[in-house]
Structures are given as structure tokens and as C-alpha cells.
Amino acid sequence: MDKRVLEYKRPTELSTEMVEVSLLLGQRTSAPDRPTDTDAIELLQTDVTPDRRSTVVKWMFEFVDETQGFGNVEHKDAVAFHAVILLDRYLSLVKTEKTELQKIAAACLIVAFRVRTPVSPSDLLMGFLFGDKKAADSYVSRVCDGLQMDLTVETHCDYYHAILPRFSLRSDQERELVESTNEMLKGCVRKWEFMRRKFSPWATARVALAICAEKLGMGSDAVLGNTLYWDCVRYFRDGSVPSTY
């Protein structure tokens, strides 16, 4: 991502529409063009179907939610979303058998954990996923090689700190809003159609937080009427959002 775009992450500099436009457009134009869209996956994969991917992504979120060692709730979610992006990127580059999909997904979880925390996953965690460390190392190496060691990922979670101050909430309300937003997005990223649209992490965080804040009675946000985000807003409001939202 362009260095100028990274600078806009500071909350104090996110006060004008001009800055917001620059950030959104900057993400679209300066981010490297990675072959992570569903078209690339559909062209390459013959054994891995959208439904099978959806099932494995659901398992990834459930595993992280239920397993100790991933940190607090917010950190768990960031690791899980990071891992899903790595999985899709891997599937767009490396032909994968359906029998190996879950192990590749598990390796993506370990890689995401290592990237986002200075502490390596415990042997217990690797045992849960693979049964032994040697097998885990083998699949982790396959993922790293397949991705050509390009393991850095920005998710919508990385922009929460810059957006949440707009809502003027207490810390407990912020936690509730983040948890609600992430639960909604877990359902969204399982969907092939959501991944096909390729919303930027900033747009996803901005609109999803606004919609959940409105539903929780924590205030409304002008972004919901902003044409800059219309495609994203329309997706979340046209019935494509999980039924609980």
C-alpha cells in the first residue's frame, strides 16, 4: 500500500471527506494487484468448489473461536480474517485437492498467527490442527512457498482504531460493536459473491461498523448515505447480509 495512504490511518487525520476519498481511492489504485479474486480461483480449481470453501472457512472461524492460544477476542478475529485472505490467495495460485483443503486452511491459520503475534503457535495448537509438528511444518512450508512468502495482509480489523472514535462510545460499547461487526462479516466472507466484489478493507470496516452501530442503537453514520460507499452499502442492505442482521 502507498505510504501516503498508510498515513491516513491516524484517527486525527480522518476528519474530512477529502481524506476519506483519498484513502478509499488510494486503496483501490496503489495496492498491489494480487490474483485473489474468485475468477482466478474458479479458473484454477477443479476439486475445490465455492460450497466446499465456504464450509472450510466456517470451520476456520469456529476453530479460532473455540481454541485457546489465539489471544483475546479482537486478536482472534484478526487472525481468522487474515487466514481466510491467505487461503483465498493460495487457492488462486496453487491447484488444491479437496482432501487437502482443510489442512491448507489450518496452515494458513498458523501463518496468520505467526504474522500477527511475536509468539509462535504452541505445540498444542499445532497438534490440534495436524497431530504432530512435523506435519504442520510441512503444510506451513507449502503455504509459504505457494504464496511466495507474501504473507502480509490488511483486514478490515486493522482500521477499527481509526473509525471507532467517530461513534464516541464507551470502551465496553466499542467492544460490543466490534464483536457484532465481526460476527456479521464472518457470514459475509464465507460467501463467494462477497469475495467477488473485492471491497477494500477500509470500505468494509467503515460501512459494516456503521450498519451494526445503527442496529445496536449506538447512533447512525453519514457514510450510509454516502455515494462513495454506495456499492458496499447496497451489498450489506440488499439482503446479502446474514439473516441475523
Q: What is the CATH number of the domain that holds 89?
A: 1.10.472.10
Residues 89 and 27 occupy one common structural domain? no
Residue 244: band (very low, low, confident or very high) from pLDDT cuts 50, 70, 90:
low
Q: Looking at 115, 146, 177, which one is the last position of a domain?
A: 146
User: Directed axis angle between helix 101-116 and helix 133-146, to 10°?
Assistant: 80
Residues 13 and 49 occupy one common structural domain? no
Residues 101 and 187 occupy one common structural domain? no
pTM of the model: 0.84
> Is 90 exceeded by the pLDDT of residue 189?
yes
Does a structural domain hold residue 61? yes
Number of domains making up the chain: 2
Residues 53 and 140 occupy one common structural domain? yes
Q: Among 174, 185, 187, 188, which Cα is nearest to 219's?
A: 174
Residue pair 121/69 in contact (Cβ under 8 Å)? The answer is yes
Query: pLDDT of 21-62, one tens digit each?
Result: 666 666 655 444 544 467 788 888 999 999 999 999 999 999
- What is the model's pLDDT at position 17? 63
Does a structural domain hold residue 21? yes
Does a structural domain hold residue 162? yes
Q: Max CA-CA distance within the chain?
A: 52
Provide mean pLDDT across the span 161-172: 92
Q: Looking at 116, 146, 176, which one is the last position of a domain?
A: 146
Residue with the larger pLDDT of the pair 43 and 7 = 43
Residues 190 and 90 occupy one common structural domain? no
C-alpha to C-alpha distances, 44 to 35, 38, 48, 87, nearest whole angstrom = 11, 10, 9, 14
Does a structural domain hold residue 242? no
Residues 113 and 93 occupy one common structural domain? yes
Does a structural domain hold residue 190? yes
Residues 56 and 13 occupy one common structural domain? no
Residues 42 and 125 occupy one common structural domain? yes
- What is the model's pLDDT at position 222? 80
Residue with the larger pLDDT of the pair 130 and 33 = 130
Residues 211 and 134 occupy one common structural domain? no
Does a structural domain hold residue 244? no
Share of the chain above pLDDT 70, in %: 78
Query: pLDDT of 64-113, one tens digit each?
Result: 988 877 777 778 899 999 999 999 999 999 999 999 999 999 999 999 98
Q: Among 44, 4, 43, which Cα is nearest to 26's?
A: 4
Does a structural domain hold residue 207? yes
Residue with the larger pLDDT of the pair 222 and 109 = 109
Residues 109 and 136 occupy one common structural domain? yes
Does a structural domain hold residue 245? no
- What is the model's pLDDT at position 27? 60
Mean pLDDT, rounded, of the chain: 82
- What is the model's pLDDT at position 129? 82
Residues 117 and 28 occupy one common structural domain? no
Q: Looking at 146, 168, 192, which one is the last position of a domain?
A: 146
Residues 77 and 28 occupy one common structural domain? no
Q: Rg (Cα) of the chain, in Å, rounded?
A: 18
Task: Provide the domain limits for residue 207.
Answer: 3-32+155-237
